[in-house]
Structure 1
Amino acid sequence: MTVPAHLYRMATDEHICPFGLKSKDLLERAGYIVEDHLLTSREETDAFKQQHNVDTTPQTFIDDKRIGGYDDLREYFNKPEAGQQGRTYTPIIAIFSVTFLLSLAFSFVSNIAIFSITTVELFVALSMAVLAIQKLQDLYSFSNSFITYDLLAMKVVRYAYVYPFLEAFVGIGMIAALPVYLVAPISLFIGTIGAISVIKAVYIDKRELKCACVGGDSNVPLGFISLTENMFMIAAGIWMLVK
């Protein structure tokens, strides 16, 4: 007979605890019959926490033993810690993967050879635009990270606030086929400064920094990925001029 699991979680008109729902899902996937006890007011929640001498909800009880919150429940089932831990390339892999698939999709629907120069141009342009969006979500956080390694931003702090707009302009300009003299110089300028800055910070000074390429709060290490972004810009600028 399956032992029931008693779950106490907060679910009011103003707030439904996400960790309570995740705890319920985890228990059900583990094969437990969940006795779901909803705490429908702040007063009821506070009374529960005082009664069981706990600081947070949700709380899970199995076989009359308190397991604890969502993280404790994951540990009980020998699962790894929730969320991304430490430094990761996941954000940049996700961006490059989606923009690559988008470039293939645009080429396909436009009756362009899928593996062509146009597809490559679309991939670079879309990648730059999406990376710019990541930075523009929180310019303050981005600037705090960017000025720790970009050589120009160290001297002219306002450049850190302008950079994402320039990157977005280049990406959009490439897709819109704006005049080369408007787009290529900017792409070459920000790409070259960025590449030199990354090479100095990572490969010469041997500093371990977080990359601001996907926003200031990311855990992406500064290094090859950042250098790749800048090389995209340099290559795009040169290609536009040659083309």
Structure 2
Amino acid sequence: MPLDSRSKYARLYRMATPDHLCPFGLKAKALLESEGYTVEDHLLESREATDRFKAEHGVETTPQVYIGTDRIGGYDALQRHFGQTPQADKDKTYAPVIAVFAMAALMGLAIGQAADFTAAANLRTILATAMALLAVQKLRDIESFTTMFLNYDLLARRKVAYAYIYPYAEAAAAILMLAGTAAWISGPLALFIGTIGAVSVIKAVYIDKRELECACMGGSSNVPLGFVSLTENLVMMAMGLWMIATLG
């Protein structure tokens, strides 16, 4: 059946080799089908076939979608074609941080319920859990985190090694707080990194008026540097002071 601009047919060229099945090709196929298109699916089953296709069609990437005689492009272009917003086009969002703090609150409440904690102990558990989850986000790709962190942290800019130490320090303080032990370590540690972080955010955002992305969720997030980042550091400062106060 001929493929013309009036029909609901599309041609899709996507990479599907024994060692790589392109996820964006699968997403493009699913999106076309969800929009009612019958997909003429062309699998590029080797690196050579993929390179040959790109050279013949003058494109740099796959997948490639054609509707009628028009080349739509890759998955992002296909989303735009159907009025959707690709991830790359989305504005900065606080959603990842909200998800972390919401999960931390639920986990802390659940732990507190099971252990019959006091209100104060429950709050400590919630905040320490939030710190631990934020540390995990940084540790899952520490190189990306440090790259973003060096954009604004004052101590890391002087001592690059601190950028690598930071997520481990945050994780250590959080675990010790959850365990309710070694407050003489967790308190000063949280107070130290929290204070430096708060001063760095205030300088970058509120004094220098710079528009940066926050490293609080790791290096691949799209969270703007500002109130949320400052809140994370203020929480660590408060937790540090709390732990120090328990030393009596």
Does the TM-score normalized on the shorter chain lie above 0.5?
Answer: yes
Distance (whole Å) between structure 1 residues aligned to residue 107 and residue 182 of structure 2: 24
Q: Which residue of 2 aligns with 1:209?
A: 212
1:239 and 2:242 matched? yes
The residue identity in structure 2 corresponding to 1:135 is K
Which among 164, 167, 172 is matched to residue 164 of structure 1? Answer: 167
Residues 90-147 of structure 1 deviation map (CA, whole Å, 9 limit, x = unaligned): 332232222222223323444557xx33332122111111222222334444334334
How many equivalent residue pairs? 241
1:56 and 2:61 matched? yes
Q: Which residue of 2 aligns with 1:82?
A: 87
Q: CA deviation at 1:53?
A: 4.0
Distance (whole Å) between structure 2 residues aligned to residue 49 and residue 130 of structure 1: 42
1:119 and 2:126 matched? no
Distance (whole Å) between structure 1 residues aligned to residue 25 and residue 80 of structure 2: 16
Distance (whole Å) between structure 1 residues aligned to residue 147 and residue 50 of structure 2: 39
Q: CA deviation at 1:11?
A: 0.9
Q: CA deviation at 1:171?
A: 0.1
Q: Which residue of 2 aligns with 1:181?
A: 184
Contact preservation (8 Å) 2:148, 2:213 = yes
SS for the counterpart of 2:215 is coil
Which among 185, 188, 191 is matched to residue 194 of structure 2? Answer: 191
Contact preservation (8 Å) 2:170, 2:190 = yes
Structure 1: state its 5+ residue gaps: none
Q: Which residue of 2 aligns with 1:153?
A: 156
1:24 and 2:29 matched? yes
Residues 1-43 of structure 1 deviation map (CA, whole Å, 9 limit, x = unaligned): 9733232222110111111101111011111222322222233
The residue identity in structure 2 corresponding to 1:145 is M
Contact preservation (8 Å) 2:7, 2:68 = no
Structure 1 residues 11, 138: closer, same or farther in 2, change over 3 A? closer
The residue identity in structure 2 corresponding to 1:9 is R
Q: Which moved more, 1:126-135 or 1:225-234?
A: 126-135
The percentage of aligned residue pairs carrying the same residue is 54
Contact preservation (8 Å) 1:2, 1:33 = no
Distance (whole Å) between structure 2 residues aligned to residue 20 and residue 108 of structure 1: 46
1:6 and 2:11 matched? yes
Q: CA deviation at 1:86?
A: 4.4
Q: Cα RMSD over matched residues?
A: 2.7
Which among 42, 45, 56 is matched to residue 40 of structure 1? Answer: 45
Distance (whole Å) between structure 1 residues aligned to residue 198 and residue 42 of structure 2: 56
The residue identity in structure 1 corresponding to 2:149 is F
1:130 and 2:133 matched? yes
SS for the counterpart of 2:65 is strand
The residue identity in structure 2 corresponding to 1:184 is G
SS for the counterpart of 2:87 is coil
TM-score by length of 1: 0.84
Distance (whole Å) between structure 2 residues aligned to residue 164 and residue 29 of structure 1: 42
TM-score by length of 2: 0.83
Residues 61-102 of structure 1 deviation map (CA, whole Å, 9 limit, x = unaligned): 334544332223222212223346343323322322222222
Structure 1 residues 17, 138: closer, same or farther in 2, change over 3 A? closer
Q: CA deviation at 1:228?
A: 0.5
Structure 2: state its 5+ residue gaps: 1-5
Q: CA deviation at 1:217?
A: 4.3
Distance (whole Å) between structure 1 residues aligned to residue 49 and residue 220 of structure 2: 36
